[in-house]
Chains A and B, each alone.
Chain A
Amino acid sequence: MTHLPYIVASYGLAAIIALTLSIGAALRLKKARMRLAVLERPSDRTTGATSSL
């Protein structure tokens, strides 16, 4: 295969960017979901916490 270093660098960069963005988004979503679940627990509702944006 000709120009192999350039091809490997291109695909490697694409993989790094895709993995960083997707893992970052998944972790952020998981953290937000867990935190929201804690805040919206039924015991919190007795204190009158409302869920609005």
Chain B
Amino acid sequence: MSATPTLVARAGTFFHRYANPGRFLKLGARLQPWLTWPALLLTLVGLGWGLFFSPADWQQGDSVRIMYVHVPAAMLASAGYAGLAVCAVLSLVWRHPLADLAAVEIGPVGACITALCLATGSLWGKPMWGTWWVWDARLTSVLVLFFLYLGHIALIRAFDDPQRGYKAAAILALAGAVDLPIIKFSVQWWNTLHQPDSITLTGAPTMSSSMLWPLALSTLGFSLGFAAIVLARTRAAVMESRIRSLLSSPRRRAGNTSGDAA
């Protein structure tokens, strides 16, 4: 048997270095303002620019301004689920204690942002397509993503033993990750009513820079805001876990009992 640690073991050591709750709380407290305030600033500037200063589209008119909310929400809906899948790997492979707590907190935030994406999509679709909803590949795959988030939230709460809930939810998060490439490529694989991507990694954006800049700012702002909310919720979850542990410690209970007796 080789004494050299494998890549998996090395990665496990790396991840567990950040599994200490005290170290996480310290790092989180330091990171929180650096996420929160830029998120607020960038979102306000991006949305204000998009709403009041960017030009209307020659075809869609002012309804194109919904894009500055819809596109960041759509990107984050997928990115949040990818985060959930990463937490699932960390939990199932390395049994990282913070990964489960983070996954519990990402779920509801991701579900809200996916709901926002679907709602703003409908609000954009009605004036442009003449309908609130069509069962095309992009819309349906995002709806499936919303149900995956809801399933993840429900599974975590479905068991008396939280560890079993975490494990079942992690398996669902991994299996559900197959929906992410379907969402991404749905507009290429199928003939959809939804327009193809205007921004890709390989090609130049097909929109004017006067629209691209506010979109980039609001996307960055939304992303930092998502991270700030998840970080704050995870910090709270770690503290609550510590509170439960303190309250259930035998010494504290013994102290309370002797206090009651006195």
Contacts and interface: CB of A to CB of B under 8 A. Distances in A.
Interface of A: 1-4, 6-7, 9-11, 13-14, 17-18, 20-22, 25-26, 28-29, 31-33, 35-36, 39-40, 44, 47-53
Given A13-B119, A13-B120, A14-B120, A6 B127 contact: yes
A34 to B, nearest CB: 10
Nearest to B251: A48
B242 A53 contact: yes
Nearest to B225: A18
Given A2-B62, A39-B247, A10 B236 contact: no
Contacts of A29: 232-233, 235-236, 239
Mostly, the B contact residues are helix
30 contacts: A1-B62, A3-B62, A6-B63, A6-B126, A7-B63, A10-B66, A10-B69, A10-B70, A10-B119, A10-B123, A11-B47, A11-B69, A13-B69, A17-B115, A21-B229, A22-B229, A25-B229, A28-B236, A29-B235, A29-B239, A32-B236, A35-B239, A39-B247, A47-B255, A48-B252, A48-B255, A50-B251, A51-B246, A53-B238, A53-B242
Contacts of A14: 47, 69, 73, 116, 120
Contact of B63 (A3, A21, A39, A50): A3
A2 B61 contact: yes
Nearest to B242: A53
A33 B32 CA distance: 14
Sorted nearest first, the 4 A-B pairs with minimum C-beta distance are A32-B239, A47-B255, A2-B61, A25-B232
A52 B61 contact: no
A17 B112 contact: yes
Contacts of B238: 53
Contacts of B228: 22
A44 to B, nearest CB: 8
B61 A53 contact: no
Given A9-B123, A22-B229, A25-B233, A17 B61 contact: no
B138 interface: no
Nearest to B228: A22
Interface string B227-256: 011001101101111110111010110010
B170 interface: no
